[in-house]
């Protein structure tokens, strides 16, 4: 039910300030009532002394219970008009909406979803399109101009007048600013800010509000899935009467406080600022309630064990010696022999911060670590192999790199034995016995204190994961089985999601390398080749080497983070439920993959939708059709038939399922002849 019952508090109060232009106001409100939303809302229209028939029409609508109407004697302007409307609002969130708007079916819910799922977001904005389908608003960049004859600071609409589906406008992003034409804010945040600054007259008040909210520590997010048509510039001459005054007031307020996203040099050249806040936004997907009371820099260190007891003992001793006691250490055993299990129980008995989880069988590297991450009580998590030896400051220094840059999601140390940039070509200690390791590491890390190196990949032998990233990416992809490439995959998922990886030059961890594989007599080369193939297929990459710099990262970024593909749930950790718009949005991604012939990706998308929403019959039908088209039909066709029969058992009149089953069932006799 879109409109809120009088006895209920609505999710959203839609505040619309108006001044004349009744035809626009009527079209705006009629579109809202036509499309509704899953979220409940109330409509509050603030009339700023209109002289046309607006007052009479609003009175009629208010009497019919469709909206609340507030009548000001004079034109108070946008800021004061919005403040008056917000004072009468009862919703958890307030959406300020211009009256020259017509909403679409997805106008409201993506913004509400963001606020509900992410308590750190204070403001959200929508994608606004001109009637011709081009972009009016897709976020606002704060510009700094070095030309002394121009205003130092100003806002600039991203992707202005570009096609609606332009990649730069299609992805959710963090911004410093979104337009006040469609701006949703938490009610308590708006109150804390004192509302819009009434010193502005129809210009820059939205930029000012967003910057104040950001300055107070809240985040501003643009949601392109919320789409609204904007008939811009319909307010009349008064809208532009104090443009210069607004610019002067804004620059006086912010010239020494704000940090620009883009810089225009005196020669006209446009440069990205090192302080830019614009980056990809990922929705929170996991409800990690265990971290609520955890200190910001606490870590759960997760050690996956599988036999190789000699090395596990060395690892455990170094962790207990060199890891601050505020961090917990979780040993997750993947079905080791009894002597390893007995040793782990002794550790847990003798050390209060040690926790042991026994899987009872070898779940593989990804699944085993996921069990540990699900049990973690620290703010962040650190995965570390059992054939490592840590040194003084190993974890604290890595935490420092997370704290110094909110865009960093993954941190790894330097080491003696690994692939890629983390390996030192020469180390001055005995790598077999670790004699001299502590002195070597102390000298090295002291000389490189605070330094790091940006990288595309951090190897999973020791991997610190930011809590925010974990809540959005979830766990490792368990399709990689016993091990290899799940760490590369995780780094790439983080990269597509807007998080960077760094190598901490002031952290050193010794690595013996693949000791559990050696102990288990595993053919490491064969495992590597098999998992490489899975990685390439998952990412649709035609490259010969997963570490190859020829990977088209620009193409991956333009495609964006697709939650149904790139998020992986953790066992026994609640997923945040999907709203209706998300279910449909995820399903459309799968259908696009299907149409492009990317059946593996389409199948994974539909399975994820069904994993989180088993009742979604469209995704189930789509999965059956995708299985029908796959190469491995001996297994796929029976599953497709089973899926369709399951749909019809619940909904016998489902026409899609009946038609698909009629088409697919004959193939069952071919794949399974009697």
DSSP 334-355: SS--HHHHHHHHHHHHH-TTEE
In the predicted structure, residue 170 carries a pLDDT above the cut 70: yes
- Domain ranges in the chain with CATH number 3.90.550.10: 12-280, 289-539
Q: 3-state SS of 170-236?
A: HCCEEECECCCCEEEEEHHHHHHCCCCCCCCCCCCHHHHHHHHHHHCCCEEEEEEEEEEEECCCCCC
Question: What is the pLDDT, as a whole number, of residue 634?
Answer: 79
Q: Measuring CA to CA, how many Å separate 93 from each of 90, 107, 385?
A: 8, 15, 45
Beta sheet of 270-272, edge-to-edge order: 153-157, 140-145, 262-264, 270-272
Tokens found for residue 626: 């995708």
Question: What is the pLDDT, as a whole number, of residue 157?
Answer: 93
Question: What is the pLDDT, as a whole number, of residue 235?
Answer: 52
Q: SS3 of 529, please? A: helix
Higher pLDDT, 669 or 404: 404
Of the candidates 37, 1, 42, 35, the residue with the CA atom closest to the CA atom of residue 579:
37
In the predicted structure, residue 305 carries a pLDDT above the cut 50: yes
In the predicted structure, residue 5 carries a pLDDT above the cut 80: no
Mean pLDDT of 559-582: 93
Question: Residues near 495 by Cβ (< 8 Å), separated by ≥ 6?
Answer: 456, 501, 553, 556
In the predicted structure, residue 586 carries a pLDDT above the cut 90: yes
Torsion angle of the four alpha carbons 197, 200, 201, 204, in this order, in degrees rounded to the nearest 10: -100
pTM of the model: 0.91
Question: What is the pLDDT, as a whole number, of residue 546?
Answer: 45
pLDDT category of residue 234 using cuts at 50, 70 and 90:
low
Q: Measuring CA to CA, how many Å separate 349 from each of 344, 355, 539?
A: 9, 9, 44
Q: What is the rounded average pLDDT for all residues in the chain?
A: 91
Of the candidates 422, 367, 430, the residue with the CA atom closest to the CA atom of residue 398:
422
| Percent of the chain predicted with pLDDT > 90 | 78
Tokens found for residue 610: 């069904």
Q: 3-state SS of 400-420?
A: HHHHHCCCEEEEEEEECCCCC
Full DSSP string of 355-406: EEEE-SS---HHHHHHHHHHH--SSEEEEEETTEEE-TTHHHHHHHHHHH-T
Higher pLDDT, 63 or 516: 63
- Domain ranges in the chain with CATH number 1.25.40.10: 577-671
Contact 165, 264 (CB under 8 A): no
Query: Of 174-183, 228-237, 459-468, 604-613, where does mean pLDDT reach its minimum?
Result: 228-237
Q: Does domain 12-280 have CATH number 3.40.50.150?
A: no
Mean pLDDT of 316-326: 97
Contact 39, 114 (CB under 8 A): no
Mean pLDDT of 423-433: 95
Higher pLDDT, 668 or 55: 55
The DSSP H or E segment spanning 333 is: strand 328-333
Question: What is the pLDDT, as a whole number, of residue 673?
Answer: 45
Question: What is the pLDDT, as a whole number, of residue 517?
Answer: 55
Mean pLDDT of 533-555: 73
| Percent of the chain predicted with pLDDT > 70 | 93
- Angle, CA 515 vertex, CA 513 and CA 520 arms, to 5°: 145
Mean pLDDT of 403-418: 95
Query: What's the fold here for domain 577-671?
Result: 1.25.40
Of the candidates 642, 639, 650, 640, the residue with the CA atom closest to the CA atom of residue 616:
650
Mean pLDDT of 31-58: 97
Burial-class residue 534 by CB neighbours within 10 Å (0-12, 13-18, 19+): middle
Q: What's the length of the chain?
A: 674
Digit-coded pLDDT (tens) for 453-469: 999 999 999 999 999 99
Burial-class residue 335 by CB neighbours within 10 Å (0-12, 13-18, 19+): middle
Digit-coded pLDDT (tens) for 193-208: 999 999 998 889 999 9
Q: How far apart are CA 636 and CA 398, in angstroms?
A: 45
Contact 505, 446 (CB under 8 A): no
Query: What's the fold here for domain 289-539?
Result: Spore Coat Polysaccharide Biosynthesis Protein SpsA; Chain A (3.90.550)
Torsion angle of the four alpha carbons 425, 427, 430, 431, in this order, in degrees rounded to the nearest 10: -40
Digit-coded pLDDT (tens) for 478-520: 999 888 899 999 999 999 999 999 999 999 999 998 665 555 5
In the predicted structure, residue 104 carries a pLDDT above the cut 50: yes
Mean pLDDT of 624-642: 87
Q: SS3 of 568, please? A: strand
Q: SS3 of 312, please? A: helix
Buried b (16+ CB within 10 A) or exposed e, 338-368: eebbebbeebbeeeebbbbbbbeebbbbbbb
For 103, other C-beta atoms within 10 Å of its C-beta total: 25
Beta strands in 231-265 (DSSP E): 262-264
Question: What is the pLDDT, as a whole number, of residue 549?
Answer: 44
């Amino acid at each position: 039910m879109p409109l809120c019952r009088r006895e209920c508090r609505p999710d959203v109060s839609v505040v619309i300030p108006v001044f004349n232009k009744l035809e626009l106001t009527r079209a705006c409100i009629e579109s809202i009532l036509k499309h509704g939303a899953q979220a409940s809302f109330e409509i509050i229209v603030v009339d700023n002394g209109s002289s046309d028939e607006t007052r009479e029409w609003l009175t009629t609508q208010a009497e019919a219970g469709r909206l609340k109407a507030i009548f000001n004697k004079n034109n108070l302007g946008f800021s004061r008009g919005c403040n008056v409307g917000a004072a009468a609002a009862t919703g958890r969130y307030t959406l300020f909406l211009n009256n020259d708007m017509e909403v679409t079916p997805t106008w409201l819910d993506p913004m509400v979803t963001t606020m509900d799922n992410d308590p750190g977001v204070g403001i959200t904005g929508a994608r606004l399109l001109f009637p011709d389908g081009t972009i009016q608003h897709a976020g606002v960049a704060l510009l700094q101009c070095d030309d002394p004859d121009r205003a130092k600071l100003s806002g600039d609409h991203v992707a202005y007048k570009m096609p609606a589906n332009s990649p730069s406008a299609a992805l959710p992003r963090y911004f410093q600013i979104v337009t006040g034409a469609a701006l949703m804010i938490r009610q308590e945040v708006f109150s804390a800010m004192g509302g819009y600054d009434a010193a502005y007259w129809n210009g820059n008040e939205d930029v000012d509000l967003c910057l104040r909210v950001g300055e107070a520590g809240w985040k501003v997010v643009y949601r392109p899935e919320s789409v609204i048509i904007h008939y811009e510039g319909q307010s009349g001459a008064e809208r532009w009467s104090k443009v210069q005054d607004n610019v002067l007031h804004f620059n006086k307020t912010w010239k020494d406080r704000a940090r620009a996203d883009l810089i225009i040099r005196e020669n006209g050249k446009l440069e990205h600022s090192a302080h830019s806040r614009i980056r990809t936004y990922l929705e929170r997907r996991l409800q990690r309630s265990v971290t609520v009371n955890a200190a910001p820099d606490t870590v759960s260190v997760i050690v996956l064990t599988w036999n190789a007891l000699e090395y596990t003992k060395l690892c455990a001793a170094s962790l207990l010696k060199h890891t601050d006691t505020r961090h917990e250490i979780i040993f997750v055993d993947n079905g080791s022999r009894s002597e390893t299990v007995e040793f782990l129980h002794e550790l847990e008995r003798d050390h209060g911060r040690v926790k042991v989880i026994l899987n009872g069988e070898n779940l593989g590297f990804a699944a085993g670590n996921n069990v540990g991450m699900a049990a973690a009580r620290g703010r962040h998590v650190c995965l570390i192999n059992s054939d490592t030896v840590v040194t003084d400051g190993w974890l604290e220094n890595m935490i420092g790199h997370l704290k110094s840059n909110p865009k960093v999601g993954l941190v790894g140390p330097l080491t003696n034995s690994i692939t890629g940039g983390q390996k030192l070509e020469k180390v001055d200690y005995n790598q077999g016995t670790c004699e001299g390791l502590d002195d070597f590491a102390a000298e090295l890390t002291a000389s490189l204190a605070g330094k790091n190196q940006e990288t595309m990949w951090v190897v999973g032998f020791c991997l610190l994961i930011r809590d925010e990233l974990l809540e959005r990416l979830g766990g490792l992809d368990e399709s990689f089985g016993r091990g290899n490439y799940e760490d590369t995959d995780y780094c790439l998922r983080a990269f597509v999601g807007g998080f960077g990886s760094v190598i901490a030059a002031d952290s050193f961890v010794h690595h013996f390398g693949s000791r559990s594989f050696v102990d288990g007599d595993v053919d490491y080369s064969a495992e590597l080749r098999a998992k490489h193939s899975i990685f390439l297929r998952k990412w649709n990459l035609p490259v010969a080497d997963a570490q190859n710099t020829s990977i088209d990262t620009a193409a991956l970024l333009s495609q964006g983070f697709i939650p149904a593909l790139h998020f992986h749930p953790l066992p026994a950790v609640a997923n945040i439920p999907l709203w209706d718009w998300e279910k449909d949005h995820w399903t459309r991604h799968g259908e696009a993959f299907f149409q492009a012939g990317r059946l593996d990706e389409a199948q994974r998308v539909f399975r994820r939708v069904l994993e989180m929403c088993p009742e979604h019959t469209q995704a189930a039908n789509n999965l059956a059709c995708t299985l029908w088209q796959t190469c491995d039909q001996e297994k796929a066709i029976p599953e497709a038939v089973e899926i369709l029969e399951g749909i019809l058992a619940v909904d016998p009149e489902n026409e899609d399922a009946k038609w698909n089953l009629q088409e697919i069932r004959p193939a069952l006799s071919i794949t399974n002849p009697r």
